[in-house]
Amino acid sequence: MSTSDSTKSENGASKDDNNLDASISDHESRGSGSSNTMTGSGNSNSISKESGYATTAYTPNTDGDRTVRRARLFFLLVLLLAAAALGGIVYWITDSGETDDFITKFESSADAVIKASNENVLQSFNALETLSVTLTSFVKEQMDNGYPSSFITVPDTEFHLGKASQNANAFGIAFMPHVAKEDYFLWEEFSAANQDWIAEANLALGRDDPRFHDNTTFLTPFIFDTVPFDANGNEMDLSYALATCRNVNGTTLSEQNSLVFEKRRVAVDPDDYDMDYYTPAWQWTPAPNPNVTDFELGNFNLLFDPLFNQNFYILEQTRKTTFYDVCDGSKVFNPATLPPGLYSLTSTPIFEDFQDVAPIVGTITALITWKGFFENILVEKSEPVYAVVTNRCAGKTSTFLIEGAEATFMGNFDAHDSRYDGLERSAGFADFAYSEEFLNAIDGHACTYTLLVYPTKQMEDMYSSNDPWIYAAVVIAIFIFTAIAFFLFDCLVQRRQKLLSTTAARHNAIVSSLFPKKIHMKLIQEQEEAEMQQKATAGKAGIRKYLLNENVPAAGAQAAEDRSKPIADLFPDTTIMFADIVGFTAWSSAREPSQVFTLLESIYRAFDMQAKKRRVFKVEVVGDCYVAVCGLPDPKKEHFVIMARFSVDCLRIFHNQLAELEVSLGPDTCNLALRVGLHSGPVVAGVLRGEKSRFQLFGDTMNTASRMESTGVPNKIQISQETATLLSSVGKEHWYTEREDKITAKGKGELNTYFLHRESGISNAEVAKQVVEPDNNAVADNRLLKKKGSRDSEWCIALLTSILVEMANVRAAKQIKQDSQTLLKSLENDSCNNQCILEEVVEYITLPEYSVTGSVKEAVDLDTTTAEELQCYVETIASLYNANPFHNFRHATQVAMNVNKLLNRIIAPDLESPTAEALHDHSYGITSDPLTKFAVVFSALIHDCDHPGVPNMQLVKENTLQAKAYKNKSIAEQNSLDIAWMLLMEPQYANLRSAIYCTKEEFIRFRKLVVNTVMATDIVDADLKKLRNDRWDAVFQKSPASIKNSLDTSIRATIVIEHLIQASDVAHAMQHWLIYRRWNENFFEECYLAHISGRAETDPSLGWYKGELGFFDFYIIPLAKKLKECGVFGACSDEYLAYAVQNRTEWERRGQEIVMEMTKKVKGKNLHRNMKGDNDDQV
């Protein structure tokens, strides 16, 4: 019987129903024709009169429909309530976020105001203290002028007092000598005879007057007081009428201004005043203008003022700057020129000399404006805040509005908005002015100040927007749209459900009519269980599904997986390969992480492609070890033949990849080797299930294959006896050769092993194809035949070319124009005429400031002529290196490689999204300037050019021409730089020079960088070492946050570059032990050859062990620590320090034995060299 599928549209329902009825009728006509009556357990069944089969019709459930309708209404209500609640929550969160931003910004600004304003007060005090020291020096210098020590005239008044006034943020400063009572008339004589300072000060300000040249007397020659007289000419008795500041009685100047009186000068009669000394105002700034009546301050005795008298007493007790209360300053300075604002007077003592008990001979009185305390605190366009200053005794209040860098005095009242009282930030103001001595002098009753900072409405408005309302409205709209969409979907589902229910009832009736009830229920039950059960299989089929990426179980099937049978099986015939890169650990210690992964990815990607061709399965990669298997999941009869050929392919691919990558990955890359081991046998394979399922191999075959690799020989394929037997069984015994010695494997004892021939794995057809169609691999093989020196040159050329291209693109983006050739040629000629390079070493080199580099429409490439000149130059430099065991071109290449590594490892600051500007600041500008990078790499390349193989000290002893020319200082380094520089200046390298520098500024910076960098490699010269250490201590003892000027940044950049080249020069001691051993042996051989040739007095083997320990303790490890302290090299500095400590420990343990080995080896090489020389002589 056939039935039609249920329809997917309402219009098609009747058609499907007709088809279904037709099918039932057709089934009846082919049946027995008898009518059966069936009873269902659910809804009422209709019995077909013609067929007798029961058909269940869809009958609406009234109670159920009512419940569904109620559920819909409830769900709608829940949606509306959720929309309202979530909208309110979104509004609250968004509004709270804006409020939090506002509060955070205000707190940051308030903290800045509190901190900076107090620092400004302290700066004013420091400026006055500095002026006090200067005037004390003048007092000492003028002790023999025939007058008392306080009788001095400060020269250059506007320079000393004016500069101090500017630094102290003061409106004016007055110098008041202390005139003893018995010297009163002597002072009149002195003040009358020394008024030329007024002319000098006015002339310094550009104000000239005929009276300045005829000895006109401007100042009253006698010490005077001002006495108030009423309108009738009668003297008034106002004790505080002329007080300048707020007094203990609370009377203020504004209250006194209501009194009408006239101030008159009255000469002081010494007999009328009970005073030990007077304080006449003698010199002050702003200088008095002869065209304006502002000479009233001259010789005015401030000591007559009661408040000044009290403060002078405090000054004598504390002997420090005294901070008066708020005042208007009109008593001291001309009120006509005094801008409105808030002022305070300070007094600073001047001493007779610099001894702790020296007497006070004068006073500096400054009128400081409070406005300056609050200026230049916030950045431009910052939101304004109120700074309210209150006096804790008098309860007086003053307000300043701080907006950006500007501060405005609002008045002597509290102007802040009371709505922001809860956000008040308060702190003591100028508390440091109230020292213990000050408090003792006034019996502890100090009227100190409190600084209160409040936000403004403008600040709050900057962080207030309509976003909360908008976000809330969007959320509510989304919920409303969701509700509408839900009800539309529900209507469609209901229509579909009605159709499916009718169809399902008819299908159920058909099945029920064909099977008995129990069988029917059983079928349904089994089907449900089958759908819920995990569809995983065990054995080989399961493994095949896993390897075909069909191994990912459903999330809900975890429990079923735990109960199911594991996916695993035994594969009796397999061959396993282990391939490990020899020397990889030492090689990677001298490389960047990106270079390490480039090597591994390139090699293993090629292995994977070849494995796919050979139908070999890659199991895993463990570190630098590649594991593969043949014979599973699909069994292969000749699995051992396939794996033998694959292992030969891997060895060939490995060396081809090394040849192609050496230029980009640096020297010694081709010195890596591949060690391969094969073993055949049974293995258990399966899926190890868990959070991260993995396909794994287990068994003794795996262990033996690993032993074949670990006991093998570099660049050879070692196979086990079992694999050799299998190869022999198919006539491949000519593919391998028995190893002469037996190996000892852990848990296996001695084993017979064989070496697979490297040519055995390639078929004749493959060989023919390679001969007829040579590919890139053949070219790469040819590269292996090149000398190491040539490969080193190629790498250096590639590195310098990449930097030159970067420089060209930066210039194009910045649109830097080339200076005239005449100017550059003149600079080049001057550089060649310098006789002593050491004198060019500078304390710091200024690197370019950060600037946003625009994009280049088309990338600039290095032209062919420049590239050829660069190649010629590098090859010439390489030929100028002597064949020393250590100081050779290979060493220079290693230094250049380490320089490049360190430059590339300079890290960005710890930011979520570090920008180019942040990296520029963090690395002191080194990373932003490709010319700097080129100069440092260039210096590494040339730093040992023409090195004689002996230290500078020996050249000095031999009194060579070079030692004389370079004055016995940094001889080898200066010689190397001279040779390389003169070579670069030759005419055939004109295009190369233009690519390096094109402006005067670039030429000077390049020359300075090269000189400082090459000279930094002289680690023996005491003067250079002290200069570097002093600069390091000067700037790196500061925290990075304290660097506020470009000078500190330039010094740090210079020091980092110098230590970078030093670290690169001895990087072998801070890398893997094997690298250190190789270069240490080379240096030992160089020193030994110098000894036996008579150019070194001491046999190096005698002190080499202790010398290396000292080298680690006093140079290598401290240098590695400095790399870490400078904070720009990140994990690379940790790596260098760790290797340095490890190598030092290993040398301490094995160094004496190693020295004996090196001595024996070097002596043997020397003997062989002598015998060869004798044979050559005989020939």
Instruction: Name the nearest CA neighbour of 176 among 375, 331, 20.
Output: 331
pLDDT tens for each residue of 999-1056: 999 999 999 999 999 999 988 877 777 777 777 777 776 655 555 566 777 888 888 8
Q: What is the amino acid identity at position 215?
A: N
Q: Evaluate if residue 650 carries a pLDDT over 90.
A: yes
Name the residue with higher pLDDT: 512 or 1124.
Answer: 1124
- Work out the pLDDT band at 777, boundaries 50, 70, 90: very low
pLDDT of residue 342: 82
pLDDT tens for each residue of 907-941: 544 444 456 666 666 667 777 788 999 999 999 99
CA 612/CA 791 separation, integer angstroms: 33
CA 780/CA 763 separation, integer angstroms: 21
Tell me the Ramachandran region of residue 549: left when phi exceeds 0, alpha when psi lies from -120 to 50, beta otherwise: left
Q: Span 765-790, mean pLDDT?
A: 43
The first and second tokens of residue 1138, run together, are 């760790």
Please tell me the least confidently modeled range out of 167-176, 305-314, 876-885: 305-314
Name the residue with higher pLDDT: 984 or 449.
Answer: 984
Name the residue with higher pLDDT: 686 or 464.
Answer: 464
- Work out the pLDDT band at 784, boundaries 50, 70, 90: very low
Q: Span 901-911, mean pLDDT?
A: 65
CA 946/CA 972 separation, integer angstroms: 8
pLDDT of residue 1147: 93
pLDDT of residue 853: 59
Is 678:577 a contact under the CB 8 Å cutoff?
yes
- Work out the pLDDT band at 192, boundaries 50, 70, 90: confident
What is the H or E stretch that residue 346 is in?
A: strand 343-351
Q: Span 748-755, mean pLDDT?
A: 86
Q: Evaluate if residue 90 carries a pLDDT over 50.
A: yes
To the nearest whole number, what is the mean pLDDT of the chain?
77
Name the residue with higher pLDDT: 508 or 1106.
Answer: 1106
Q: Span 970-978, mean pLDDT?
A: 90
Name the residue with higher pLDDT: 788 or 723.
Answer: 723
Q: Evaluate if residue 660 carries a pLDDT over 70.
A: yes
Instruction: Name the nearest CA neighbour of 720 among 701, 693, 746.
Output: 701
Name the residue with higher pLDDT: 579 or 258.
Answer: 579
The first and second tokens of residue 654, run together, are 């490995």
Pairing of strands 673-688, 617-622: unpaired
Assign 3-class secondary structure to 279-299: CECCEEECCCCCCCCCCCCCC
Pairing of strands 179-180, 277-278: antiparallel
Residue 251's Cβ-count burial label (10 Å; 0-12, 13-18, 19+) is middle
Domain layout of the chain by residue ranges: 563-783, 789-846+867-882+939-1036
Q: Span 537-562, mean pLDDT?
A: 51
Q: Evaluate if residue 764 carries a pLDDT over 80.
A: no
Tell me the torsion sign for CA atoms 492, 493, 499, 503: positive
Phi, psi of 767, deg, nearest 5: -65, -45
pLDDT of residue 844: 84
Which whole-number Å values give the CA distances from 773 to 259, 614, 645, 655, 803, in the listed order?
Answer: 115, 21, 20, 19, 36
The first and second tokens of residue 949, run together, are 């193989």
List beta partners, residue 451.
389, 427
Q: Given strand 397-403, what is the order of strands in its sheet?
A: 406-411, 397-403, 385-391, 449-455, 425-429
Q: Evaluate if residue 752 carries a pLDDT over 70.
A: yes
Which whole-number Å values give the CA distances from 233 to 229, 236, 256, 267, 268, in the listed order?
Answer: 5, 9, 19, 17, 19
**Is residue 682 helix, strand or coil?**
strand
Q: Evaluate if residue 527 carries a pLDDT over 70.
A: no
The first and second tokens of residue 107, run together, are 């707190």
Contacts of 1171 (CB under 8 A, 6+ apart): none
Contacts of 970 (CB under 8 A, 6+ apart): 837, 838, 952, 1015, 1018, 1021, 1024
Please tell me the least confidently modeled range out of 515-519, 875-879, 1068-1072, 1084-1088: 515-519
- Note if the bond before 359 is cis, omega within 30 degrees: no
Range among 57-66, 264-273, 481-490, 1099-1108 with highest mean pLDDT value:
1099-1108
Q: Evaluate if residue 517 carries a pLDDT over 80.
A: no
Residue that the structure tokens 């002319």 belong to:
199
The first and second tokens of residue 1117, run together, are 């490890």
Q: Evaluate if residue 223 carries a pLDDT over 60.
A: yes
Going by the DSSP 8-state scheme, the letter that residue 1113 receives in this structure is: I
Top-level class of domain 563-783:
alpha beta
- Work out the pLDDT band at 724, boundaries 50, 70, 90: very high
List beta partners, residue 400.
387, 409
Range among 29-43, 681-695, 886-900, 1125-1139 with highest mean pLDDT value:
886-900
Structural Rg of the chain based on CA atoms: 47
CA 984/CA 651 separation, integer angstroms: 43
Helix axes 1000-1016, 1022-1036, angle to 10 degrees: 110
The first and second tokens of residue 115, run together, are 């901190």
Q: Evaluate if residue 37 carries a pLDDT over 50.
A: no
Q: Evaluate if residue 800 carries a pLDDT over 50.
A: yes
pLDDT tens for each residue of 303-335: 777 767 777 777 887 888 887 777 666 666 666
Contacts of 289 (CB under 8 A, 6+ apart): 202, 207
Q: Span 842-867, mean pLDDT?
A: 75
Is 862:801 a contact under the CB 8 Å cutoff?
yes
Helix axes 1046-1065, 1000-1016, angle to 10 degrees: 50
pLDDT tens for each residue of 1045-1091: 667 778 888 888 888 888 899 988 998 888 899 999 999 999 989 88
Is 800:938 a contact under the CB 8 Å cutoff?
yes
CA 970/CA 953 separation, integer angstroms: 9
CA 326/CA 409 separation, integer angstroms: 13
CA 311/CA 322 separation, integer angstroms: 7
Helix axes 864-880, 788-814, angle to 10 degrees: 140
Name the residue with higher pLDDT: 421 or 1030.
Answer: 421
Half-sphere exposure of 156 (CA within 13 A, CB side): 8
The first and second tokens of residue 760, run together, are 């055995």
- Work out the pLDDT band at 287, boundaries 50, 70, 90: confident
Which whole-number Å values give the CA distances from 1115 to 1066, 1098, 1109, 1137, 1141, in the listed order?
Answer: 10, 22, 10, 12, 12
**Residues above pLDDT 70, as percent of the chain:** 74
**Residues above pLDDT 90, as percent of the chain:** 18
- Work out the pLDDT band at 142, boundaries 50, 70, 90: confident
The distance from CA 869 to its chain's CA centroid, rounded to whole angstroms, is 37
- Mark out the alpha helices in 833-906 (DSSP H runs): 864-880, 889-904
Residue that the structure tokens 């916030």 belong to:
378
Tell me the Ramachandran region of residue 699: left when phi exceeds 0, alpha when psi lies from -120 to 50, beta otherwise: left
Q: What is the amino acid identity at position 378?
A: L
Going by the DSSP 8-state scheme, the letter that residue 211 receives in this structure is: G
pLDDT of residue 46: 41
Half-sphere exposure of 1151 (CA within 13 A, CB side): 22
CA 420/CA 107 separation, integer angstroms: 12
Which whole-number Å values give the CA distances from 364 to 20, 38, 170, 284, in the listed order?
Answer: 115, 122, 12, 9
Phi, psi of 1100, deg, nearest 5: -60, -25
